[in-house]
Structure 1
């Protein structure tokens, strides 16, 4: 079974949170009402704590709806045939690696070696044959973590993975290995990162920008140099 890595979907709740389904007017009204409810809740908490908690919950939901443009309840119950998803970063590139296909595949399949040549990865901890824990560190000490699973694997041919349920950012990738002239390997790489519609904060903002995409492409080029260089010095 082939998975769509351009729009990775680790869980239905996450996917519904990426749909932008609130109009501009609706967002303004929701944000205003949410802020008002939160203000009233805080002002009257000592007099009526239970009622204030309800107002905080309702206000927080409305504020999220207004800021993000996403109404999770509507997204989960409506049959939306053409949802407008939050912006994603889709990275596609290919390189010729001057090493045999089996060797190139073996290097990539050792996921805990990826941080050695991929600067945007701080650590990949292998849990078992299918599961791993990924950590990305960005400038300013920002850090993102998620668990991932291998969803496609054909030895020396194909490796596909995606983030699992509960990830802070939905992501997936696929690498295809093809024979090239003179015993080399043609490497085709596609990686996709997509946040929830209401993402906020510098961490995800820095992750999902053109500079980050360029860095990942550079990392893949580093893989080519890494594999060829390892062989030369072995």
Structure 2
């Protein structure tokens, strides 16, 4: 729903003296929907009140609740059930894996962010637009909601640490970091990987969050583990300068 349209609806009732009984727990889109539904319900109720007084009064009472919801952003029913639609849940993933390749080669592969979709199925494409900036496109379950964002590398220590974060104004907030350390035998590399996704608040955010809290999260966890298998394939072996005998 158009945000400007929503704000116009809400600003039109600012003079109504309704004091909320708690913190807002309804997002802007849902508030506007309550107001739109109320207008229609109130019209129908007033139109039928002379012919069907009981039904008309019940309809007017229901529209009063919708006015309260829309004007204050507080839903008493949501409050009772401890529901808050203004704060969709985030994904926070932390995994540790070990691969049989040198730390320098593994780091270099990850540092080239366009390599990530080679083993991460939840990513459709990552395009590096500068040395530190990139554009990410996600594969969502069923491709129901298009997801893309811009990101920048926020911190790096060559060979040992890589951190990135989505830029301001992105549709989805994404952040990640990878720590690279030598294994005890100094032959392989241990990777500690953290990936976070924060869906936006509001009605669009709830739709995205419904993906985040289900299959999408499982995809990301599987993708991290996929790197271990990918590191044993011919493409990565050639990249790392390793032969079959070294696996």
TM-score normalised by length of structure 1: 0.65
Q: Provide the C-alpha distance between the structure 2 equivalents of 1:105 and 1:149, rounded to a whole number of angstroms.
A: 17
Unaligned runs of 5+ in 1: 1-19, 41-58, 71-84
**Residue of 132, 141, 144 corresponding to 1:130:** 132
Flag the 1:38–1:117 CA change in 2: closer, same or farther, 3 A. Answer: farther
- Root-mean-square deviation (CA, aligned residues, Å) is 3.4
Matching residue of 2:157: 154
Structure 1 contact 96–185 (Cα < 8 Å) conserved: yes
Look up the SS of the partner of 1:228 in the other structure.
coil
TM-score (norm 2): 0.62
Match of residue 222 from structure 2: 218
Give 2:111's aligned residue.
109
Deviation at 1:124, TM superposition (A): 0.4
| DSSP 3-state at the match of 2:122 | coil
Which runs of 5 or more structure 2 residues have no equivalent in the other structure? 1-21, 43-66, 76-83
Confirm or deny: 8 A CA contact 1:22 1:69 kept in the other structure: no
- Structure with the greater alpha carbon radius of gyration: 2
Native 8 Å contact 1:31 1:66 kept in 2: no
Aligned residue-pair number: 180
Whether the aligned pair in 2 keeps the contact of 1:146 and 1:163 (CA below 8 Å) is yes
SS at match of 2:147: strand
Report if aligned partners of 2:134, 2:150 keep a CA contact under 8 Å in 1: yes
Specify which of 181, 198, 201 is matched with residue 184 of structure 2. Answer: 181
Q: Deviations over 1:134-162 (max 9, x none)?
A: 00122333321110011011111111111
By relative contact order (CA 8 Å, sep 6+), the higher-ranking structure is 1
